[in-house]
Amino acid sequence: MPLSPLSSSKGLETFQGPWTKQTTTHLLNRVLFGAKHSEIEQFLAKGLNASVTELLNPADPIPAPPVNEYNTATVIDPTVAPGTTWINNPTNDGTINGLRRNSYKKWLTGVMIHQDISVREKMALFWANHFGTEADTISNANYVYQHHDTLRKNALGNYKALVKAVTIDPGMLRYLNGYLNSATAPDENFGRELQELYTVGKDNAIQFTESDVKAAARVLTGWRINTSFNSYFDATRHDTGSKQFSSYYNNKVITGKPGAAGAGETDELIDMLFAKEDMAKYICRRIYRWFVFYYIDGTVEKNIITPLATIFKNNNFEIKPVLTALFNSAHFYDPLYIGCQIKSPIDHVIGTLRKTNVVFPNSKTDYADAYLHFNNMVAQLNSFGQSLADPPNVAGWPAYYQSPEFGELWINADTLPKRNKFTDLMIETGYTRNGKKVFIDLIPFAKAISSSPSNPNQLIQDLFDLLISTDIDQSIKDNLKKQILLSGQTADYYWTEAWNSYQSNQNTVNFNLVNTRLKALVKYIMNLPDYQLS
């Protein structure tokens, strides 16, 4: 049974509390895939306003595209050399497309692990869920890449422009049969989802009708994909009749237009949808649930959603002003919302790798080993229920929309043990290929995140500050210190001497004394229920 959570009465007024390690970590955990210790220290020094500004203004270029790392002894891509990108050489070969789709997922995993320090990748995933397309259904890997590249490039831009771009995107045309939509055989798939999922939503108060779905489908007739794998408008397949919409849209009529002018009807349709106040509120609810919490009651609707929607409309549907207001708000930093989200599989896997500074082979100079290790993480995500670029349906992953459970759907009797097994694996052995080991290297990790790793009290506190978002009773920390770091003794020097001995003489015995205790400690922390929260 889902919880009955409380909600904060705080609004969009600027947060005036102290800028602490906890508030900094909270912001970074929500806008990045797990915050590294070095990033927390960096943004702690910047303060709230400067941190939000930097996070919303990516300075790094869009990541370099995926490469051919998939050639085998029996299957060779004839048009793309190993180590070079395949995105400029589309193909209809089903086997090659399958390999490229997998290549894209490996590449995307690497992009998230090595993400730039901005909200761009988290927003790219937000839009990938919002405009839920399934790579296996689209089939053509170039369409898949192009679709997600459009989302990434427009992630912090104008939402109206993004909706238009997605509407005529080859991947979306393929996924929802838009390329088959013609005057003689109108297809309602995209016309329905454009309203129900991408703009005005389908809450109980939303009253668009089946006739609106059919009218939208007629407006959108004529968009096709050419032999160069690009979309274009074919006037000969367009319905030139006028399209009547219901009273929900103020009985709007989009006059049919012959020839190339028919493409302009798509813009009129989008203008009509964006004129609805329901649209702005719907998108702001989606953003709120992604970055804050799934529970929206009347207070949150009044204090957060409605004013965010006003900001959205007043800024001509630019996304960045909405995020700026939210991330600077007193509401966002209310203690109720710190550590309240159940981590998605992506946040759990990628966050673990990033927080613990796991090192992967260089994907530019050693792409074969890098992609194979990325693929190990893809397999983990699949096992936990979040297959990259392949949500289960057009609505995205259920944890982001299915009421009343929402994020609680990520955790069950199957996935929780698998999550714990993953962190145990990364601590104990990790993965090895060609002598290159990808694992949590605990001694360098402890040095990197603790101001005094030889002090067991400081080390434990630093670990909890980084890895756990909720408040943990001091008695638990004291017991971990005694039972693990001090090996059952009571004096702190049992750890201090072990640590210092290893620093002065890094032989096998001293290494094992320190590393074995660190393994037990970090495994215990990562197996706490609180580690599943962000």
- What's the pLDDT score for residue 471? 94
93 located within any domain: no
The whole domain housing 519 covers 442-532
List alpha helices for 225-297, DSSP H.
264-274, 277-291
- Total domain count for the chain? 1
Residues 6+ positions from 328 with CB-CB distance below 8 Å:
14, 15, 48, 49, 52
Q: Which two tokens stand for residue 315?
A: 């800024």
CA dihedral 29, 63, 283, 254 (to 10 degrees): 180
The predicted structure's pLDDT at residue 3: 47
- Position 463 scores a pLDDT of 98
Helix/strand/coil (H, E, C) string of 7-32? Answer: CCCCCCCECCCCCCHHHHHHHHHHHC
Residue 3 dihedral angles phi and psi, to the nearest 5°: -70, 160
Whole-number Cα distances in Å, 366 to 67, 75, 115: 11, 20, 18
Q: Which residue, chain included where needed, has tokens 């714990």?
A: 420
pLDDT confidence of residue 4: 54
The answer to whether residue 400 is domain-embedded is no
| In-domain check, residue 515 | yes
CB 433 within 8 A of CB 493: no
Written as one letter, the residue type at 377 is: M
Rounded Cα–Cα distance for residues 245 and 49 (Å): 44
d(CA 501, CA 491): 16
DSSP state of 85: B
**Within a domain: residue 232?**
no
Confidence at residue 206, expressed as pLDDT on a 0 to 100 scale: 79
List the structure tokens of 178.
Answer: 């838009």
Q: What is the DSSP letter of 432?
A: E
- Token couple for 427: 């601590």
DSSP string for 467-504: H--S---HHHHHHHIIIIITTT-S-THHHHHHHHHHHH
What is the β-pairing status of strands 223-225 and 431-433? unpaired
Residue 450 in domain: yes
Mean of all residue pLDDT scores within the chain: 97
Q: In the prediction, which pLDDT does 2 show?
A: 43
Cis-peptide into 404, omega within 30 deg = yes
Neighbours of 184 (CB within 10 A): 7
Q: Which residue has the tokens 């806008």?
A: 31
3-state secondary structure of 515: helix
Q: Which helix (H) or strand (E) holds 433?
A: strand 431-433
Per-residue tokens: 204: 């109980």
Token readout for 285 is 């609810």
Identify whether the C-beta of residue 186 lies closer than 8 Å to the C-beta of residue 214. yes
The per-residue pLDDT string of the chain (534 residues; one tens digit each, 9 = 90 and over) reads 344 577 999 999 999 999 999 999 999 999 999 999 999 999 999 999 999 999 999 999 999 999 999 999 899 999 999 999 999 999 999 999 999 999 999 999 999 999 999 999 999 999 999 999 999 999 999 999 999 999 999 999 999 999 999 999 999 999 999 999 999 999 999 999 999 999 999 887 778 999 999 999 999 999 999 998 999 999 999 999 999 999 999 999 999 999 999 999 999 999 999 999 999 999 999 999 999 999 999 999 999 999 999 999 999 999 999 999 999 999 999 999 999 999 999 999 999 999 999 999 999 999 999 999 999 999 999 999 999 999 999 999 999 999 999 999 999 999 999 999 999 999 999 999 999 999 999 999 999 999 999 999 999 999 999 999 999 999 999 999 999 999 999 999 999 999 999 999 999 999 999 999 999 999 999 999 999 999
Alpha carbon of residue 185 to chain centroid: 37
Instruction: Identify how many contiguous H helices and E strands the chain contains and give both numbers.
Output: 24, 6
**Total Cβ atoms within 10 A of residue 84:** 14
Distance CA 411, CA 407 (A): 8
Q: What is the pLDDT of residues 102-114, one digit of tens each?
A: 999 999 999 999 9
Cα 100–Cα 104–Cα 109 angle in degrees, nearest 5 = 150
At residue 343, the 3 state secondary structure works out as coil
| Helix (H), strand (E) at residue 46 | helix 37-46
Any residues with CB less than 8 A from the CB of 358 and at least 6 apart, and which? 113, 352, 426, 430, 438, 439, 440, 441
How far does Cα 173 stand from its chain's mean position? 23
**134-178 per-position pLDDT tens digit:** 999 999 999 999 999 999 999 999 999 999 999 999 999 999 999
Q: In angstroms, what is the C-alpha Rg of the chain?
A: 25
How many Cα neighbours within 13 Å face the side chain of 430?
20
Rounded (5°) CA angle 203-206-208 = 130
Question: Residues 137, 100: contact at Cβ < 8 Å?
Answer: no
310 lies in a domain? no
State the pLDDT at residue 191. Answer: 98
Using left for φ > 0, alpha for ψ between -120 and 50, and beta otherwise, residue 116 falls in beta
- The answer to the question of residue 481 being in a domain is yes
Does the residue 325 lie in any domain? no
